[in-house]
Structure 1
């Protein structure tokens, strides 16, 4: 009887732990899908005017806004790439609204071959979303200011560089001269959601553990 107790206990405990991990991932999946649905609804919500100067816009992340004004001709290039096109840059421009406010505008993707093309001031009507991307960490290289090349969208540093308010609007639709820049609207596609895969993995491991336990018990009968 002693030959069965230890493998049986080990098997039951192991399966219980693996099943609890799988169920936890399913709860995380439900939470993540609810969060993504909320973000999607906010991205495609009603268009609003730009919040007043000095207002805390961080709680308004993803809020749709409309801008009427124009670029100043000053911009920053963030190293990027686009499927089917190749390497290129996100163009972050200083944008002056009709009320005289200066903010950051993420105009979208510029192919590498068009980097040297002139981008003088141009009038634009923009529909986009307020955004505060979290792209920098301790491994992100410092921007190459001589080449005007950045490796992440760093709102405070970029705003200081262009001498504008630390507010970023990511363009979704642009009316006017786009100067070869393709808007890249905010979407949830870049937000990872791997909880279903993790849950399946834990369930499969629980099945394997059960099978190994059964095999061990069968062998101990001999």
Structure 2
């Protein structure tokens, strides 16, 4: 009987920790399938920009649009791994039908002296995106320098529709490097969480065995 309580405690603790690790493995498989679906959606054949795109249903939709760049816009401060601080160049594209669309052309490094926006007729291929980059710590814009891609606010400031095409390719090209949408920035840490829970289960097992050994020594 003296081993009953530590045995129950050990079994229950290990069962809970193993179940949490198994749940994380299921989440890992789910997230992997979701990322594969996003990647397939991003790289699909582009279509014309919908007349009234939906921010949820049309997120990452591949599109292609022809028009004229406005030649001015807003620079958004961002950071890219292995590149450093950059400015993303967001401008307008006026289509032959008269639609004014927001376009994220890509980036130049902050140290670049070139702050000009391209203008003229282009064909833009990219993906619709409504990035969630604004929170309570986001600084207010400083003139034409912004600190997040707030699509509704950008649309109001530039007189465009509240949708953003993140360019994958712009023809003809320019000195701005495209920074296309990808699933790279979407975290998938579930394997690490699973390893942590399974590791804690082993630690719990070791602690239970150690406790039972101590009880045995005291009663010997």
* Pairwise same-fold verdict (TM > 0.5): yes
Tell me the distance in 1 between the aligned counterparts of 2:212 and 2:115.
73
Alpha-carbon distance, 1:116 to partner? 4.5
Partner of 2:123: 125
When the two structures are superposed, what TM-score results if normalisation uses the length of structure 2?
0.93
Uncovered stretches (5+) of structure 1, i.e. residues with no partner: none
Partner of 1:67: 65
Q: Deviations over 1:28-59 (max 9, x none)?
A: 1111111111111110112101112x443541
Partners of 2:55 and 2:130 within 8 A in 1 = no
Q: Which structure 2 residues correspond to residues 1-222 of structure 1 after superposition, within 5 A?
A: 1-2=1-2, 4-52=3-51, 54-114=52-112, 116-145=114-143, 148-178=144-174, 180-222=175-217
The count of corresponding residues between Structure 1 and Structure 2 is 217
Alpha-carbon distance, 1:117 to partner? 3.5
Over 3 Å counting, the alpha-carbon distance change for 1:120 and 1:15 in structure 2 is: closer
Moved more, 103-112 or 79-88: 79-88
Q: Secondary structure at the match of 1:184?
A: coil
Q: Secondary structure at the match of 1:189?
A: coil
RMSD: 1.5
Q: Deviations over 1:162-203 (max 9, x none)?
A: 01000100001111142x210011111000000011001100
Tell me the distance in 1 between the aligned counterparts of 2:36 and 2:193.
20
Over 3 Å counting, the alpha-carbon distance change for 1:187 and 1:120 in structure 2 is: closer
Partners of 1:108 and 1:183 within 8 A in 2 = yes
Tell me the distance in 1 between the aligned counterparts of 2:156 and 2:115.
25
When the two structures are superposed, what TM-score results if normalisation uses the length of structure 1?
0.92
Over 3 Å counting, the alpha-carbon distance change for 1:118 and 1:205 in structure 2 is: same
Over 3 Å counting, the alpha-carbon distance change for 1:158 and 1:6 in structure 2 is: same
Alpha-carbon distance, 1:118 to partner? 2.7
